[in-house]
């Protein structure tokens, strides 16, 4: 391939190294920005070492409680750090080991419960934090090892079913643990209450400080995150980390090279479980109580979406995934923010796409016109169709665009929702101008469903968004935002 | 003895529902080598379609058609609805990923499962839906039946078990005695070779999803005839059906039936003789035992890996 592109200066003039084909050798250079000042900035940024990025990131994160005094925002920040830790742990198993571990959040639960039992009034045990936390991590690692044990010979599919069943079993045991052999071990559905706060450097870390969420937990969580991140960075660069990646790429070749495949699988399981258990101690000590239903399918899907969105295998990627998904889920709880997010994504998506094709910009304008027209027609036919006006602000503006009756007939939600799904799937089947034309009513229908059906029930609505993100990612961009795209040579 | 009879009848009812779900997993796995996590939620949607059609036909207390026709219509509507749903899922969530790494369609399937259960919750809420089968011709389906010892086996149970077995026999016939079945078996054996022999692989896969999802729809109705259904039954029932398929040997049709019945018996006897709470633990133990000692399942082929 003789290079005719203008920005070939980046590739070394010496040509590909031994064992590297020319295309592979220039892989890293592709996808760079075009020549110009931006490109020079990008090249500069690329040579910044990873630890500098980490320090910058931690510094930015730790400013959050300084600029935001609201306890709610701090609390969301803390939860986001927990999600970042969980995503890092899952990344070991899924991203590096290439194993589908569907029981991951059970280890998180095991960590939380173990800490709760070791540090609460439940059995009157109050271990010092400095003992309890490492102990819980060991318990988590051993649990992960044991769950991986029967499935060590098995392929991904069997592993998935065993781990998924393990998650269900964890639920059963914790929910029914209030009457195991006549003893109340886990408190059953009522969980374990009055868990001790963490106790570090001679101070109890209080959860509330003058009625507001105390920042100390946020900083402790951030410190845990930093330690785990750096430790995993080293693990990934170590012999074991390289072995994991070779296992993920081709188990057969790895085995042929004499790698202890089963041992490596168990190890990645164990590492993931240990990180999850560590996160569990933070969760339990902050919430002062643990309940079985926290650690279930919903949380599993949430963490998976973070890892996949960020790019499984990439540490900065999964952290970014958690940073996006966690606040997103939080904002979707609130109808006002939820509405803004929906339209922001809509407008942003069209703007990005419109840069590539002028036609999409026209589509956006057409949708806008379509909306006003539909709204006016609806008002002319029956003014009760647009009666649900809230007035004022952004919501008021949206009300002049989307049909929004005060009272919805019971058949409207199912029909419009199923219609929207059908329309969306239909649009993906069309091509060229037909797709653009079909997009106009589909977008308007989406806005209608979002305003009238989804906003009234935030709980399922935000999980629907999560499910859609997961499916769309797998189909459009399985490598996520920052994941490495494999170079496959056939 | 009476308790034993009672539990055995329960086990057969439960087991036949599990077997129907397991068949869906096994069929799809056989052809695509894909664990279709969304299958449990298709089953759940089936029970809801059944409920909706039942209400449209006047409910159980004063149906507009005779009782037998009511049951038949409800079941077939659920089967048709689920078959359509299965086709849509295959076309949009799995087909684009057919040549992707193994883990990709699995995660997509998880997403579909999550999407389906939450969509149903958005539209229909989390309240349980009761078919109220006792109202059918004033409880005749419960009061009539035949006696074993002192135990009355109600007609409804007999209907459930018999229809499940009729469906399974029909499936067996379809797969083993028809041209389409032959194409399915060929695709399952070696997809590429089958394609070279002129078999339309896409059609076979779509047909497999139609079959599996229709069975899930029927299972949904049979399940809901026994206990009220909610939007959350998909996860646990799917997991059980899935386990049944693995125990029986995934990919094997008689295996799925055997696995379903084993699970039904294990659960029913544990609940009757030990404790109602710990049946999951027993099932999990059986699963682990199979994983260790017979990973290919009861009737599955041992996987010979060619390199």
Tens-place pLDDT, residues A159-218:
888 888 889 888 888 888 777 666 677 777 777 877 777 777 766 677 666 666 777 888
Check residue B112 and give its pLDDT.
Answer: 95
Would an 8 Å CB–CB cutoff place B92 in contact with chain A? yes
In whole angstroms, what is the distance from residue A346 CA to residue A359 CA? 16
Average pLDDT over residues B50-63: 86
Is A6's pLDDT higher than 70?
no
Is A477's pLDDT higher than 50?
yes
pLDDT digits (tens, 9 = 90+) for A353-397: 777 777 777 888 888 888 888 888 887 877 777 766 665 667 777
Q: What tokens were used for B12?
A: 């057969």
Lowest-pLDDT range of A435-439, B212-216, B228-232: A435-439
Would an 8 Å CB–CB cutoff place B103 in contact with chain A? yes
Give the Å distances, CA to CA, from B130 to A279, A314, B209, B227: 41, 48, 28, 7
More confident residue, A366 or A122: A366
Check residue A182 and give its pLDDT.
Answer: 65
pLDDT digits (tens, 9 = 90+) for A27-67: 666 656 666 777 777 777 777 888 888 888 888 888 887 78
Q: For residue A169, list chain B residues with Cβ-Cβ distance below 8 A.
A: 280-281, 284
* Record: contact B278-A150, CB cut-off 8 A: no
The minimal CB distance from B106 to the residues A100, A173, A428 is found for A100
Distance between B103 CA and the closest CA of chain A, angstroms: 7
In whole angstroms, what is the distance from residue B234 CA to residue B24 CA? 14
ipTM of this model?
A: 0.88
* Record: contact B280-A168, CB cut-off 8 A: yes
Q: What tokens were used for A217?
A: 């937990």
Confidence tier at A1 by pLDDT (50, 70, 90): very low
Would an 8 Å CB–CB cutoff place A154 in contact with chain B? yes
Q: For residue A459, list chain B residues with Cβ-Cβ distance below 8 A.
A: 121
Rounded to 5 degrees, φ, ψ at B129 are: -110, 125
Would an 8 Å CB–CB cutoff place A225 in contact with chain B? no
Is B142's pLDDT higher than 90?
no
Would an 8 Å CB–CB cutoff place B119 in contact with chain A? yes
Which of B:20-39 have CB within 8 Å of A? Answer: 29, 33, 35
In whole angstroms, what is the distance from residue A425 CA to residue A439 CA? 11
Is A488's pLDDT higher than 60?
no
Confidence tier at A22 by pLDDT (50, 70, 90): low
Q: For residue B283, list chain A residues with Cβ-Cβ distance below 8 A.
A: 165
Q: What is the 3-class SS of chain A, one letter each residue? A: CCCCCCCHHHCCCCCCCCCCCHHHHCCCCCCCCCCCHHHHHHHHHHCCCHHHHHHHHHHHHHCHHHHCCCHHHHHHHHHHHHHHHHHHHHHHHHHHCCCCCCCHHHHHHHHHHHHHHHEECCCCCECCHHHHHHHHHHHHHHHHHHHHHHHCCCCHHHHHHHHHHHHHHHHHHHHHHHHECCECCCCHHHCECCECCCEECCEECCCEECCEECHHHHHHHHHHHHHHHHHHHHHHHCHHHHHHHHHHHCHHHHHHCCCCHHHHHHHHHHHHHHHHHHHHHHHHHHHCCECHHHCCHHHHHHHHHHHHHHCCCCHHHHHHHHHHHHHHHHHCCCHHHHHHHHHHHHHHHHHHHHHHCHHHHHHHHHHHHHHHHHHHHHHHHCHHHHCCCCCCHHHHHHHCCCCCCCCCCCCHHHHHHHHHHHHHHHHHHCCHHHHHHHHHHHHHHHHHHHHHHHCCCHHHHHHHHHHHHHHHHHHHCCCCCCCCCCCCCC
Per-residue burial over B29-54, b = 16 or more CB atoms within 10 Å of its CB, e = otherwise: bbbbebbbbbbbbbbbbbbbbbbbbb
* Record: contact B114-A297, CB cut-off 8 A: yes
Domain ranges of chain A: 2-46, 54-331, 336-456
Average pLDDT score over chain A: 81
- Give the global pTM: 0.89
Confidence tier at A478 by pLDDT (50, 70, 90): confident
Is A12's pLDDT higher than 50?
no
More confident residue, A107 or B58: A107
The minimal CB distance from B291 to the residues A98, A162, A301 is found for A162
- Taking the C-alpha atoms of A298, A299, A302 and A303 in order, what is their torsion angle to the nearest 10 degrees? -150
pLDDT digits (tens, 9 = 90+) for A240-291: 988 888 888 877 888 888 888 888 888 998 999 999 999 999 898 888 888 8
Check residue A337 and give its pLDDT.
Answer: 84
Rounded to 5 degrees, φ, ψ at A397 are: -65, -45
Check residue A422 and give its pLDDT.
Answer: 93
The minimal CB distance from A168 to the residues B121, B122, B236 is found for B236
The minimal CB distance from B108 to the residues A160, A172, A474 is found for A474
Confidence tier at A9 by pLDDT (50, 70, 90): very low
Distance between B125 CA and the closest CA of chain A, angstroms: 9
Is A124's pLDDT higher than 80?
no
Distance between B150 CA and the closest CA of chain A, angstroms: 33
In whole angstroms, what is the distance from residue A84 CA to residue B85 CA? 35
Q: What is the 3-class SS of chain B, one letter each residue? A: CHHHHHHHHHHHHHHHHHHHHHHHHHHHHHHHCCCCCCHHHHHHHHHHHHHHHHHHCCCCCCCCCCHHHHHHHHHHHHHHHHHHHHHHHHHHHHHHHCCCCCHHHHHHHHHHHHHHHHHHHHHHCCCCECCCHHHHHHHHHHHCEEEECCEEEEHHHHHHHHHHHHHHHHHHHHHHHCHHHHHHHHHHHCHHHHHHCCCCHHHHHHHHHHHHHHHHHHHHHHHHHHCCECCCHHHHHHHHHHHHHHHHCCCCHHHHHHHHHHHHHHHHHHHHHHCCCCHHHHHHHHHHHHHHHCCCCCCCCCCCCCC
Q: For residue B239, list chain A residues with Cβ-Cβ distance below 8 A.
A: 164-165, 168
Check residue A476 and give its pLDDT.
Answer: 84
Check residue A304 and give its pLDDT.
Answer: 93
Distance between B300 CA and the closest CA of chain A, angstroms: 14
Nearest-by-CA chain A residue for B231: A460
Average pLDDT score over chain B: 88
Nearest-by-CA chain B residue for A181: B275
Is A456's pLDDT higher than 90?
no
Q: For residue A338, list chain B residues with Cβ-Cβ distance below 8 A.
A: none
Check residue B60 and give its pLDDT.
Answer: 79
More confident residue, A278 or A452: A278
The minimal CB distance from A463 to the residues B101, B118, B307 is found for B118
Burial category of A97 from C-beta neighbours within 10 Å (exposed 0-12, middle 13-18, buried 19 and up): buried
Highest mean pLDDT among A143-152, A431-440, B46-55, B62-71: B46-55
Check residue A97 and give its pLDDT.
Answer: 85
- pLDDT above 70 coverage of chain A, percent: 85
Is B46's pLDDT higher than 80?
yes
pLDDT digits (tens, 9 = 90+) for B144-203: 778 777 788 888 888 899 999 999 999 999 999 999 999 999 998 888 899 999 999 999
- Taking the C-alpha atoms of B39, B114, A293 and A185 in order, what is their torsion angle to the nearest 10 degrees? 40
Distance between B236 CA and the closest CA of chain A, angstroms: 8
Is A4's pLDDT higher than 50?
no
The minimal CB distance from B242 to the residues A151, A161, A417 is found for A161
* Record: contact B104-A176, CB cut-off 8 A: no
* Record: contact A168-B110, CB cut-off 8 A: no
* Record: contact B284-A165, CB cut-off 8 A: yes
Would an 8 Å CB–CB cutoff place B213 in contact with chain A? no
* Record: contact A463-B35, CB cut-off 8 A: no
More confident residue, A100 or A42: A100
Is A16's pLDDT higher than 60?
no
Is A317's pLDDT higher than 50?
yes
Evaluate whether B299 touches B248 at the Cβ level (below 8 Å).
yes
Q: For residue A176, list chain B residues with Cβ-Cβ distance below 8 A.
A: 277-278
Q: For residue A154, list chain B residues with Cβ-Cβ distance below 8 A.
A: 291, 295
* Record: contact B278-A172, CB cut-off 8 A: yes
Q: Strand A199-200 to strand A203-204: parallel, antiparallel, or no bridges (unpaired)?
A: antiparallel
Which of A:37-96 have CB within 8 Å of B? Answer: 94
Q: For residue A98, list chain B residues with Cβ-Cβ distance below 8 A.
A: 103
- pLDDT above 90 coverage of chain A, percent: 21
Is B304's pLDDT higher than 60?
no
Check residue A7 and give its pLDDT.
Answer: 47
Give the Å distances, CA to CA, from A260 to A120, A234, B27: 41, 20, 34
């Amino acid at each position: 391939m003789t290079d005719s592109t203008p920005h070939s200066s980046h590739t070394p003039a010496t040509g590909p190294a031994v064992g590297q084909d020319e295309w592979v050798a220039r892989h890293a250079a592709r996808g760079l920005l075009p020549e110009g000042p931006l490109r020079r900035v990008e090249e500069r940024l690329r040579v910044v070492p990873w630890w500098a990025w980490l320090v910058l990131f931690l510094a930015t994160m730790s400013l959050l409680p300084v600029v935001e005094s609201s306890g709610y925002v701090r609390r969301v920040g803390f939860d986001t750090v927990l999600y970042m830790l969980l995503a890092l742990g899952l990344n070991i198993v899924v991203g590096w080991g290439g194993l589908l571990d569907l029981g991951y959040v059970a280890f998180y639960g095991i960590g939380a419960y173990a800490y709760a039992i070791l540090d609460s009034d439940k059995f009157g045990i109050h271990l010092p934090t400095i003992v309890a936390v490492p102990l819980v991590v060991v318990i988590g690692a051993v649990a992960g090892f044991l769950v991986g044990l029967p499935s060590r010979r098995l392929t991904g599919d069997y592993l998935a079913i065993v781990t998924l069943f393990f998650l269900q079993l964890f639920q059963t045991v914790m929910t029914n643990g209030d009457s195991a052999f006549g003893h109340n071990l886990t408190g059953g559905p009522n969980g374990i209450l009055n868990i001790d706060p963490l106790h570090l450097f001679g101070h109890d870390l209080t959860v509330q400080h003058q009625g507001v969420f105390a920042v100390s937990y946020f900083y402790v969580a951030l410190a845990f995150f930093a330690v785990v991140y750096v430790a995993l960075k080293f693990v990934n660069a170590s012999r074991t980390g390289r072995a994991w990646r070779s296992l993920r790429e081709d188990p057969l070749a790895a085995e042929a090279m004499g790698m202890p495949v089963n041992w490596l699988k168990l190890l990645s399981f164990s590492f993931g479980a240990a990180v999850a258990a560590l996160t569990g101690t933070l969760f339990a000590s902050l919430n002062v109580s643990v309940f079985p239903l926290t650690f279930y399918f919903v949380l599993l899907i949430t963490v998976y979406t973070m890892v996949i969105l960020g790019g499984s295998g990439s540490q900065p990627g999964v952290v970014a995934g958690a940073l996006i998904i966690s606040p997103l889920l939080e904002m979707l709880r609130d109808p006002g923010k939820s509405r803004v997010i929906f339209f922001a994504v809509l407008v942003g998506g069209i703007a990005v796409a419109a840069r590539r094709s002028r036609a999409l910009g026209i589509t956006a304008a057409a949708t806008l016109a379509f909306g006003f027209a539909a709204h006016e027609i609806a008002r002319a036919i029956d003014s009760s169709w647009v009666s649900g006006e809230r007035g004022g602000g952004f919501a008021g503006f949206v009300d002049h665009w989307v049909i929004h009756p005060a009272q919805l007939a019971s058949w409207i939600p199912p029909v419009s929702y199923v219609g929207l799904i059908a329309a969306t799937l239909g649009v993906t089947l069309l091509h060229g101008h037909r797709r653009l034309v079909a997009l106009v009513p589909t977008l308007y229908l989406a806005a209608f469903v979002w305003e009238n059906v989804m906003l009234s029930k935030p709980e399922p609505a935000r999980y629907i968004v999560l499910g859609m993100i997961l499916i769309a990612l797998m189909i459009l961009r399985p490598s996520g935002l920052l994941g490495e795209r494999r170079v496959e040579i056939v | 003895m009476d308790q034993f009879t009672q539990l055995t009848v329960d086990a057969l009812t439960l087991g036949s529902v599990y077997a129907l779900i397991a068949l869906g997993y096994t069929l799809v796995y056989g052809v695509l080598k894909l664990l279709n996590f969304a299958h449990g939620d298709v089953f759940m949607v089936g029970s809801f379609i059944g409920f909706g059609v039942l209400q449209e036909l006047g409910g159980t207390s004063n149906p507009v058609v005779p009782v037998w026709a009511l049951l038949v219509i409800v079941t077939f509507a659920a089967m048709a609805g689920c078959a359509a749903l299965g086709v849509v899922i295959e076309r949009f969530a799995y087909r684009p990923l057919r040549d992707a790494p193994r883990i990709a369609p699995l995660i997509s399937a998880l997403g579909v499962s999550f999407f389906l259960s939450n969509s149903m919750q958005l539209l229909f809420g989390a309240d349980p839906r009761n078919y109220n089968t006792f109202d059918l011709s004033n409880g005749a389906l419960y009061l009539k039946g035949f006696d074993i010892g002192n135990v009355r086996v109600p007609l409804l149970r007999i209907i459930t078990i018999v229809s499940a077995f009729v469906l399974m026999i029909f499936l067996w016939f379809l797969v083993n005695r028809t041209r389409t079945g032959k194409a399915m078996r060929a695709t399952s054996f070696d997809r590429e070779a089958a394609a070279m022999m002129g078999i339309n692989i896409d059609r076979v896969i779509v047909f497999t999803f139609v079959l599996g999802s229709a069975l899930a729809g029927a299972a949904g109705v049979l399940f809901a005839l026994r206990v009220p259904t909610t939007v959350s039954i998909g996860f646990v029932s799917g997991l059980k059906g899935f386990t049944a398929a693995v125990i029986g040997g995934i990919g094997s049709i008689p295996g799925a039936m055997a696995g379903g019945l084993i699970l039904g018996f294990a659960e029913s006897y544990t609940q009757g003789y030990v404790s109602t709470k710990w049946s999951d633990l027993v099932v999990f133990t059986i699963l682990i035992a199979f994983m260790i000692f017979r990973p290919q399942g009861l009737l599955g082929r041992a996987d010979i890996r060619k390199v």
